[in-house]
Each structure stands twice: as C-alpha cells, then as structure tokens.
C-alpha cells in the first residue's frame, strides 16, 4: 500500500524481504539536540507508513563524523512509498518550506514561461491603439 492507500504490485518481488535504509547527516557542533529532535520527528512520520518495522539513531565516534538514522521496512515497495512521500522537508519551518517551493516556481515562471507567453501573445499584448 502506498501512502495514499493504493496497492502496488511489483513484478520482480515475488516474496517481500525486509529492507534497511540509512540516512547520514553531518551535524554542526552544538546542534546535536536539534538533529536528535529532527530524527525523532522523521521516525514518527515513517512509523505512520505501512510496513514500518522500526528505526534507530547512531551517534558518531568522533566529532564531525556523520550521524546515521536507520529505518527498516518489511518490503522495498513500502520503503519506496515512504521515500516518495516527501519526508525530506519534515520538521523544517513552514516559512522555509514555502520559500523552497515558491522561489523555483517563481523563477521558472519569470524566466522561462512568461517570455515565451509574451512572444506568443505579442500581437494581442502590443496591439496598436485604435483612434476614434
């Protein structure tokens, strides 16, 4: 089942095997508690997906080395559903998420779509003024 409740079958997966994925992040000194909060929130989101078997967090041995968050799902399909869900922005402040979405859309509209639309509609947009 996907996050939307749809059931997907995969032709090359006759028998589902548990899968594990690791998310590695370098954490700035002094931000360890923030990373722990983020990983707990990420785990809570993953726990709501079908097939979630568990998660854990691995601290690095040395400062500056990456931290790891490990997730386990009962099948590759359930893992794929979770990965396709957009979890990367979980826990980010709403204003930041809005900027991350709106800036690329605005740039595409401004520099790609509008110039082409203006050329296409040139005769209508810049029609000569009629004199009475």
Q: 3-state DSSP call for residue 121?
A: coil
In the predicted model, is pLDDT for residue 67 greater than 80? yes
Confidence of residue 89 (pLDDT cuts 50, 70, 90): low
Number of domains in the chain: 2
Run of H or E including 91: none
- If asked whether residues 108 and 120 sit together in one domain, one would say yes
> Do residues 87 and 112 share a domain?
no
Query: pTM value?
Result: 0.54
Q: Both 16 and 49 in a single domain?
A: yes
- Give yes or no: residues 17 and 65 share one domain: yes
Alpha helices in the chain (DSSP H): 32-47, 76-83, 94-108, 114-120, 122-125
d(CA 53, CA 8): 19
* Domain assignment of residue 12, given as a range: 1-91
Same domain, 73 and 117: no
Higher pLDDT, residue 129 or 58: 58
């Amino acid at each position: 089942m996907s996050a939307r409740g749809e059931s997907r079958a995969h032709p090359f997966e006759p028998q589902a095997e548990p899968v594990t994925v690791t998310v590695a992040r370098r954490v700035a000194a002094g931000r360890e508690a923030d990373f722990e909060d983020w990983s707990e929130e990420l785990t809570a989101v993953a726990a709501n997906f079908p097939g979630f078997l568990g998660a854990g967090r691995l601290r690095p041995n040395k400062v500056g080395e990456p931290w790891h968050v490990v997730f386990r799902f009962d099948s590759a399909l359930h893992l794929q559903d979770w990965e396709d869900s957009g979890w990367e922005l979980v826990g980010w402040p709403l204003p930041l998420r809005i900027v991350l979405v709106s800036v690329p859309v605005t740039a595409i509209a401004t520099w790609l779509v509008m110039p082409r639309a203006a050329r296409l509609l040139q005769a209508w947009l810049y029609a000569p003024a009629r004199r009475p």
